[in-house]
Chain A
Amino acid sequence: MVTLTAPETAAPEAAAPAESDGGAAPTVVDLADASVRSLNQALHDAVDGQSWTITSPGGKHSLAVGISARVAVTIEGHTGYYAAGMHQKGDVTINGNAGVGLAENIISGRVHVTGDASQSAAATGHGGLVVIDGNAGARCGISMKGVDIVVGGNIGHMSAFMAQAGRLVVCGDAGDALGDSIYEARIYVKGTVASLGADCIEKPLREEHLAELAELLEAAGRTDNPADFKRYGSARNLYHFHVDNSSAY
Chain B
Amino acid sequence: MTVTSLPAPAQAPAAAPAQNLAASDIAALGLRESATFDRATIADIQRAAATGVYDIRGWGAKRKVPHFDDLLFLGASMSRYPLEGYREKCDTDVVLGDRHASRPLHLQTPVTIAGMSFGALSANAKEALGRGASEVGTSTTTGDGGMTPEERGQSKHLVYQYLPSRYGMNPDDLRKADAIEIVLGQGAKPGGGGMLLGQKITERVAGMRTLPVGIDQRSASRHPDWTGPDDLEIKIGELREITDWKTPIYVKIGASRPYYDTALAVKSGADVVVVDGMQGGTAATQQVFIENVGIPTLAAIPQAVQALQELGVHRKVQLIVSGGIRTGADVAKAMALGADAVAIGTAALIALGDNDPRYAAEYADLGSAAGFYDDFQDGRDPAGITTQDPELASRLDPVAAGRRLANYLRVLTMEAQTIARACGKSHLHNLEPEDLVALTIEASAMARVPLAGTSWIPGVQGSF
B170 touches A164 (CB 8 A): no
A241 touches B3 (CB 8 A): yes
Interface string of B217-235 (1 = CB under 8 A from A): 0001000111000010011
Residue of A81, A107, A124, A142 touching B171 (CB-CB under 8 A): A107
B238 touches A85 (CB 8 A): yes
A139 to chain B minimum Cβ distance, whole angstroms, is: 7
Residue of A65, A105, A162 touching B241 (CB-CB under 8 A): A65
Binds A, one of B24-32, B208-216, B321-329, B358-366: B208-216
Residue of A36, A37, A44, A143 touching B224 (CB-CB under 8 A): A143
Residue of A nearest to B164 (CB): A143
B166 touches A37 (CB 8 A): no
Q: How far is the CA of A126 from the CA of B166 in the complex (A)?
A: 10
Interface string of B383-411 (1 = CB under 8 A from A): 00000000000000000000000000000
* Chain A CB within 8 A of B184 CB: no
Within 8 A of A (CB), among B165-218: 165-167, 169-172, 174, 197-198, 209-212, 215-216
Residue of B nearest to A245 (CB): B53
* Chain A CB within 8 A of B21 CB: no
By a CB distance below 8 angstroms, the chain A residues around B92 are none
* Chain B CB within 8 A of A51 CB: no
Interface string of B224-268 (1 = CB under 8 A from A): 111000010011011001111100000000000000000000000
* Chain B CB within 8 A of A61 CB: yes
B365 to chain A minimum Cβ distance, whole angstroms, is: 23
Residue of B53, B172, B245 touching A241 (CB-CB under 8 A): B53
By a CB distance below 8 angstroms, the chain B residues around A156 are none
By a CB distance below 8 angstroms, the chain A residues around B216 are 239-241
Q: How far is the CA of A152 from the CA of B243 in the complex (A)?
A: 33
* Chain A CB within 8 A of B6 CB: yes
Q: How far is the CA of A195 from the CA of B198 in the complex (A)?
A: 29
* Chain A CB within 8 A of B51 CB: yes
* Chain A CB within 8 A of B52 CB: yes
* Chain B CB within 8 A of A88 CB: yes
By a CB distance below 8 angstroms, the chain A residues around B234 are 61-62, 80-82
* Chain A CB within 8 A of B5 CB: yes
Q: How far is the CA of A184 from the CA of B169 in the complex (A)?
A: 18
Number of B residues with CB within 8 Å of any CB on chain A: 36
Q: How far is the CA of A164 from the CA of B204 in the complex (A)?
A: 16
Q: How far is the CA of A145 from the CA of B245 in the complex (A)?
A: 27
* Chain B CB within 8 A of A1 CB: no
By a CB distance below 8 angstroms, the chain B residues around A177 are none
A65 touches B231 (CB 8 A): no
Within 8 A of B (CB), among A93-117: 100-101, 104-105, 107
Within 8 A of B (CB), among A57-93: 61-62, 65-66, 68, 80-82, 85-86, 88
By a CB distance below 8 angstroms, the chain A residues around B242 are 40, 65-66, 85-86
Q: How many A-B residue pairs have CB under 8 A?
A: 111
Residue of A nearest to B3 (CB): A241
The CB with the most chain B CB atoms within 10 A, among A139, A142, A241, A242, is that of: A241
* Chain B CB within 8 A of A146 CB: yes
* Chain B CB within 8 A of A165 CB: yes
* Chain B CB within 8 A of A41 CB: yes
Q: How far is the CA of A142 from the CA of B227 in the complex (A)?
A: 14
B418 to chain A minimum Cβ distance, whole angstroms, is: 46
Within 8 A of A (CB), among B332-358: none
Q: How far is the CA of A139 from the CA of B220 in the complex (A)?
A: 13
A54 to chain B minimum Cβ distance, whole angstroms, is: 14
A139 touches B224 (CB 8 A): yes
Given A61-B234, A65-B238, A85-B238, A243 and B210 contact (CB-CB distance below 8 Å): no
A37 touches B241 (CB 8 A): yes
A61 touches B5 (CB 8 A): no
A142 touches B211 (CB 8 A): no
By a CB distance below 8 angstroms, the chain A residues around B169 are 105, 124, 126
* Chain B CB within 8 A of A123 CB: yes
B244 touches A44 (CB 8 A): yes
Residue of B197, B212, B237 touching A61 (CB-CB under 8 A): B237
A126 touches B171 (CB 8 A): no
B324 to chain A minimum Cβ distance, whole angstroms, is: 28
* Chain B CB within 8 A of A154 CB: no
* Chain B CB within 8 A of A135 CB: no
By a CB distance below 8 angstroms, the chain B residues around A161 are 220, 224
B212 touches A62 (CB 8 A): no
B238 touches A239 (CB 8 A): no
By a CB distance below 8 angstroms, the chain A residues around B170 are 86, 105, 107, 126
Residue of B nearest to A126 (CB): B170
Given A82-B234, A162-B220, A88 and B212 contact (CB-CB distance below 8 Å): no
A241 touches B5 (CB 8 A): yes
Residue of B220, B237, B244 touching A143 (CB-CB under 8 A): B220
Q: How far is the CA of A80 from the CA of B237 in the complex (A)?
A: 12
* Chain B CB within 8 A of A183 CB: yes
By a CB distance below 8 angstroms, the chain A residues around B51 are 243
Residue of A37, A65, A120, A139 touching B245 (CB-CB under 8 A): A37
By a CB distance below 8 angstroms, the chain B residues around A107 are 170-171
Q: How far is the CA of A20 from the CA of B30 in the complex (A)?
A: 91
Lowest 4 CB-CB distances: which A-B pairs, in order? A66-B242, A101-B225, A243-B52, A124-B166
Question: What is the interface of chain B, defined by CB distance below 8 A to chain A?
Answer: 3, 5-6, 51-53, 165-167, 169-172, 174, 197-198, 209-212, 215-216, 220, 224-226, 231, 234-235, 237-238, 241-245
9 more contacts with CB within 8 A, not counting A62-B234, A101-B238, are: A40-B244, A61-B237, A62-B237, A65-B241, A85-B242, A100-B231, A143-B166, A143-B220, A164-B211
**Can you list 22 residue pairs at the A/B interface with Cβ under 8 Å?**
A36-B241, A37-B245, A40-B242, A40-B244, A61-B237, A85-B242, A86-B170, A86-B174, A104-B224, A104-B225, A105-B169, A107-B170, A107-B171, A126-B170, A145-B166, A145-B167, A239-B216, A240-B216, A241-B5, A241-B197, A243-B53, A246-B53
